[in-house]
């Protein structure tokens, strides 16, 4: 491999910038960079402010970043099952992406523990180097590595220095390595693709298209046309941080132009001396510190997950210099999406690969790695309608975001439907057929992040429930949908057919049930195993055929298979000229009571019912003989109470 020195003057600039870097304890964007993990604790002293990776019980306004749920149980398992110490795991940021904490915008964060012992997440002995395509990297079935290169844990966090998407963007990194003497060399490599390590196949996949990476491309004026992969290479001596170097993956011809947001740093390394693509060093447009770094002192706390060392021992404190921490100002370095693109909420990278090297050379042999982990992996919005098909007449239904982010804003629109009330928030109420669209923004200053669409239809041939069918309800019991119905005159029934839909409009046959050989009242049940259903919601209806050939359909029962969906009460059809039904989703079964009053507060009915965990459908027969008008129903369960307005229009 070849390292190109572009200009002698660039060398002088590199030297002046390097001297300006900060290697003492500092706070950046209210996050402590002092090689400690504790919030409200800085440079060996308790303080009332300052965010950090964890909190060791120190009071103050500083917040910890990594989700620690289950930490005590995991450490307890380490004691009872020492073999579990060999396993890798990750924990994400405990705050929702784009949360504002202590007036700083938090974007994402992660903690990952590497595998321990001999395994395949190391580079095979040989010539694996930075600049190579990942397709050419080799990994063994099992191999040990020198302790100076053995990664134990890694941390990554990104935030802005204020609440706005244009405030300085900071990236924080932390790494613990087994060896604490001599120089240690490591890389934090940031990928634009969904890069991952296929452990069974011992190979890397989903790397970029340009010699195994995604290259940065530029417009003629030097502005960024497309961002690509980034690498931060660091070196810590036995006393301090001695180097953090930033590089980006480019076509070597790009060195001939002048970038708008950063300067070339004078170095380029590809897979060979004649390589078209490689990593080029970059420097800020203005002189001054763009990175900071430090390594820990003795007895620094290892966090709630403790530390598993190479000898499989469990430790609650680091030894001196075992944990190293650094920060990089991506805005100053010219890598901030808010400035190099039109989207201030664009992701600076998607995957992170942390690895160690044998020596200071950028092209030195690679040793250990922590398999690429995800960051900025926010799912697109998904919406569903409680009642996607109005049966026979228009009604009222809710449309809900199944995977809402508390920090996002949701704006709804329709060109051919009608929204009742607010058009913002994670759910809306509609009373007309049409197509409804939600637009999600991760921050009020962001462009739209994602859209989803749902359509509400009217089935004019659908008939309101016949008096003979008194109930059709469903309950989701773990991964089994239990459908129940009752008829008053069983002898008049020729057949029952269950139908289902995953798209809320195209129903398919699920199965048939023959009527019992009896007269009068009869109750039926049908079980459907939904363990293999790959949909957030499933819809059911019952097709009843009488001996006279008449066909009627039941109400639609919607079962939400997503456990994160909140419970709620739905009345349908509404307005109604026939029978009225209530669909109530609860997390717990038990007794409930509902009361119906008119608009003069006159009590029409009060009734106690039994609910089951899941989706419950109740026939509100009280409305069969009610006069046209507006009524209120109040439903009280052990978990919640609901009030809904019902319009009767006979």
H-helix or E-strand containing 74? helix 71-80
Each residue's pLDDT tens digit, 244-255: 899 999 999 999
Instruction: Give the pLDDT band of residue 461 (cuts 50, 70, 90).
Output: low
Instruction: Give the pLDDT band of residue 462 (cuts 50, 70, 90).
Output: low
CATH fold for domain 566-650: Immunoglobulin-like (2.60.40)
Of 264, 243, 235, 241, residue with least CA distance to 334? 264
CB 345 within 8 A of CB 336: no
Kindly give the pairing relationship between strand 241-251 and strand 277-283: antiparallel
Q: Locate the domains of the chain by residue range.
A: 8-374, 566-650
Each residue's pLDDT tens digit, 378-388: 999 999 888 78
* pTM for the structure as a whole: 0.74
Name the percent of the chain lying above pLDDT 70.
93
Residue 593 CA to residue 571 CA, distance in Å, equals: 15
Which residues 6+ apart lie within 8 Å of 600 measured at CB? none
φ/ψ bin of 225: left (φ > 0), alpha (ψ from -120 to 50), beta (otherwise): alpha
5 compared with 472, residue with greater pLDDT: 472
Q: What angle do CA 30, 110, 535 make, to 5 degrees?
A: 125
74, two tokens? 């995991």
68, two tokens? 């620690």
C-beta neighbour count of 592 within 10 angstroms: 21
In our burial notation (b when 16+ CB lie closer than 10 A, e otherwise), range 464-483 reads bbbebbbbbbbbbeeeebbb
Residue 264 CA to residue 439 CA, distance in Å, equals: 39
pLDDT on residue 600: 75
Least reliable range by pLDDT among 361-375, 448-462, 506-520? 448-462
Q: Would the pLDDT of 540 be above 80?
A: yes
User: Which DSSP category does 514 fall into?
Assistant: P
What φ, ψ does residue 586 adopt, rounded to 5°? -130, 155
Q: Would the pLDDT of 444 be above 90?
A: yes
CA 249 to chain centre: 27
């Amino acid at each position: 491999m070849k390292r190109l020195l572009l200009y002698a003057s660039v060398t002088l600039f590199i030297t002046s910038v390097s001297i300006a870097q900060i290697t003492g304890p500092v706070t950046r964007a209210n996050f402590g960079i002092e090689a400690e993990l504790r919030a409200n604790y800085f440079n060996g002293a308790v303080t009332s402010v300052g965010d950090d990776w964890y909190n060791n019980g120190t009071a103050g306004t500083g917040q910890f970043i990594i989700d620690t749920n289950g930490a005590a149980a995991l450490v307890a398992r380490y004691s009872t099952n020492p073999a579990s110490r060999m396993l890798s795991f990750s924990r994400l940021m405990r705050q929702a992406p784009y949360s504002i904490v202590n007036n700083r915008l938090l974007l994402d964060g992660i903690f990952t523990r590497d595998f321990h012992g001999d395994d395949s997440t190391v580079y095979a002995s040989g010539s694996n180097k930075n600049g190579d395509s990942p397709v050419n990297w080799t990994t063994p079935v099992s191999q040990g590595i020198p302790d100076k290169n053995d990664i134990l844990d890694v941390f990554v966090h990104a935030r802005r220095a204020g609440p706005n998407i244009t405030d300085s963007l900071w990236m924080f990194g932390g790494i613990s390595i087994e060896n604490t003497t001599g120089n240690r060399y490591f890389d934090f490599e940031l990928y634009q693709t969904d890069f991952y390590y296929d452990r069974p196949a011992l190979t890397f996949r989903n790397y970029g298209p340009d010699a195994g990476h995604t290259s940065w491309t530029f417009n003629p004026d030097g502005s960024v046309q497309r961002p690509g992969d980034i690498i931060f290479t660091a070196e810590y001596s036995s006393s301090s941080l001695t180097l953090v170097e930033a590089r980006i993956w480019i076509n070597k011809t790009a060195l001939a132009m002048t970038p708008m947001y950063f300067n070339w740093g004078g170095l380029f390394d590809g897979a060979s001396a004649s390589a078209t693509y490689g990593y080029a060093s970059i420097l800020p447009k203005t002189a001054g510190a763009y990175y900071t770094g430090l390594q820990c002192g003795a007895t620094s706390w290892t966090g709630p997950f403790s530390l598993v060392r190479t000898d499989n021992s469990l430790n609650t404190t680091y030894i001196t210099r075992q944990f190293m921490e650094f920060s990089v100002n991506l805005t100053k370095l010219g890598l901030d999406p808010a400035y190099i693109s039109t989207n201030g909420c664009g992701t600076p990278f998607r995957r992170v690969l942390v690895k160690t090297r044998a020596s200071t050379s950028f092209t030195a042999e690679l040793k250990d790695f922590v398999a690429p982990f995800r960051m900025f992996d926010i799912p697109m919005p998904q919406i569903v309608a409680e009642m996607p098909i109005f049966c026979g007449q228009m009604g009222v239904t809710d449309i809900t975001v199944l995977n809402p982010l508390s920090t996002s804003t949701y704006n709804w629109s329709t060109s051919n439907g009608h929204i009742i009330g607010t058009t913002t928030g994670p759910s809306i109420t509609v009373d007309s057929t049409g197509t409804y669209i939600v637009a999600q923004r991760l921050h009020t200053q962001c462009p739209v992040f994602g859209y989803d669409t749902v359509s509400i239809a009217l089935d004019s041939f659908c008939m309101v429930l016949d008096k003979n069918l008194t109930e059709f309800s469903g309950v989701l019991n773990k991964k089994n949908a239990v459908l129940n119905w009752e008829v008053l005159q069983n002898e008049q029934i020729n057949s029952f057919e269950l139908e289902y839909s995953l798209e809320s409009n195209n129903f398919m046959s699920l199965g048939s049930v023959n009527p019992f050989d009896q007269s009068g009242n009869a109750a039926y049940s049908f079980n459907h195993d939904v363990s293999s259903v790959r949909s957030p919601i499933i819809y059911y209806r019952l097709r009843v055929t009488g001996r006279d050939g008449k066909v009627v359909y039941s109400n639609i029962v919607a079962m939400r298979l997503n456990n994160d969906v909140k419970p709620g009460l739905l009345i349908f059809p509404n307005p109604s000229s026939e029978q009225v039904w209530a669909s109530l989703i609860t997390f717990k079964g038990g007794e409930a009571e509902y009361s119906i009053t008119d608009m003069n507060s006159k009590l029409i009915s009060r009734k106690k019912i039994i609910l089951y965990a899941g989706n419950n459908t109740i026939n509100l027969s009280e409305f069969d003989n009610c006069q046209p008008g507006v009524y209120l129903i109040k439903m009280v369960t052990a978990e919640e109470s609901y009030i809904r307005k019902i319009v009767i229009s006979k």
